[in-house]
Amino acid sequence: MNNKPQLHVPHPPARPGEKPDFSYVALSPAGAVPRPSPGANARDIESLAVELVRVLDDGHRALGEWNPALAPDTLREGLRIMVLTRVYDERMLKAQRQGRISFYMKSTGEEAVAVAAGMALDPKDMLFPSYRVQGLYLLRGVGMVDLMCQLLSNTRDMCKGRQLPVMYHSAAKRLFSISGNLATQVPQAVGWAMGSSIKGETSLAATWTGEGSSAEADVHYAMVFASSYRAPAIINIVNNQWAISTFQGMAGGQGPSFAARALGFGLPGIRVDGNDFPAVYAVTRWAAERARQGLGATVIELVTYRAAAHSTSDDPSRYRPKDEEASWPLGDPIDRLKKHLVALGEWSDEKHQALVTECEEHVTRSWEEACSYGTLNEGPRLDPLTMFDDVYHDMPEHLRRQREQLAKEKA
């Protein structure tokens, strides 16, 4: 018996060579969790932070009070964007392996946390994404060629060659610029939402961050400000189980869930099956309604699994079992929505295959076009002298001199 305190370091249930074990993921049956009114008092609905809102059951039916009863067209559109996202990710990974782009980050297995949540919001709502929610851009109609040009840092790169691949933005589609530094966008989203209140508008801000990044103080700032000012914001914590090599318990500690962090701030926290398209849609819609009624922010924990590597610089076989994904209890978001649509009699394997082919063709065509605007190594190239633009509104004298100096170096 050791009575002395010892440093406790959280351990994942399984490392390479060990049997995957997701018994720590608390599940609720589909349809079991009641849906309160969006106007409910946060204190009366605290159980939502530890239960798991699920709509789709194992028989692919949509059940319970959270079932948003979406029209088949809406479900098919969600499926299309998720498939497009996955095909895009696969092709861009290949492009990185071929040396055409320098870096990439896939969202495989967690497409619904972007697509279902994004679809439940209004196009006027402002989104503050992390680097793994690319479905949002496709959903909002940012051109695939534009996304690819960013990856290529070419002459049509929205970031003008200044940012790592995947750090997209779109002011026109209300998608904020991705930082590369973690969780900084979360309190910024709350600030945007406060601005919406100040201006008397109904647009809200939604933001995404990982469960690992939620350890950053920025997330604490976000919840304090969101609570104090009742900011119309949705704070999505995407719990995909892994932050590079550290598992979710490293940031989660002894807390019952990430959603439960909200409770201490007096905010509602909802834990939802992040691979269940209708459930994510419904929970987001609930939070949006609450925000638009002036009742403030909601923290949503989306429980999913990072099926891909952290990035193309990462090798997950070094820190987690290779076959872990196969044991993930919440399945795959595309597969589940597809089967749901089939069960409704609104979809078929043939149609699905046709959709995949159509998406592949779209991605291939887009890639060819994007490459025609230049790649990192070939074709037209951005003018390096543009690197001095946009540091300030008007270029100060010392930067003018440095630009001249570079022009001489290049001559």
Minimum CB distance to other proteins smaller for 251 or for 291: 251
Instruction: Say whether residue 377 binds other proteins (CB under 8 A).
Output: no
Closest CA to 327 of 301, 302, 309, 307: 307
Coil, helix or strand for 365? helix
Rounded alpha-carbon distances, angstroms, from residue 356 to 81, 104, 135, 278: 11, 21, 16, 21
Query: Which of these ranges, 268-276, 295-303, 339-347, 399-407, lies near other proteins under the rule CB under 8 A?
Result: 399-407
Q: Are 308 and 36 in contact (CB under 8 A)?
A: no
Alpha helices in 233-348 (DSSP H): 248-252, 277-292, 324-327, 333-343
What residues numbered 95-114 form the site for other proteins, per CB under 8 A? Answer: 102-103
Q: In this chain, which of 74, 177, 179, 202 binds other proteins, going by CB under 8 A?
A: 179
Judged by beta carbon, residue 153 or residue 185, the one nearer other proteins is 153
* 393 contacts other proteins (rule: CB under 8 A): no
List 22, 61, 319, 351, residue binding other proteins (CB under 8 A): 319
Among 391, 393, 394, 397, binds other proteins (CB under 8 A): 391
Helix (H, G, I), strand (E, B) or coil at 300: strand
Closest CA to 234 of 181, 175, 176, 192: 192
DSSP class of residue 393 equals S
Interface with other proteins (CB under 8 A), residue total 50
Q: SS3 helix, strand, coil % of the chain, rounded to 5?
A: 45, 10, 50
- Nearest-approach distance from CB 39 to other proteins, in angstroms: 34
Interacting residues of 400 by C-beta distance below 8 A, sequence separation 6+: 388
**CB-nearer residue toward other proteins: 75 or 167:** 167
Give the DSSP H/E element, type plus range, for residue 109.
Answer: none
Binding status of residue 243 toward other proteins by CB under 8 A: yes
The answer to whether 162 contacts other proteins (rule: CB under 8 A) is yes
217 lies in the site for other proteins, by CB under 8 A? yes
Binder to other proteins among 39, 72, 99, 384 (CB under 8 A)?
Answer: 384
Residues that bind other proteins (CB under 8 A): 6-7, 9, 15, 102-103, 153, 157, 159-164, 167, 179-183, 212-213, 215-218, 243-246, 250-251, 313, 318-319, 376, 381-382, 384, 387-388, 391, 398-399, 402, 405-406, 408-410
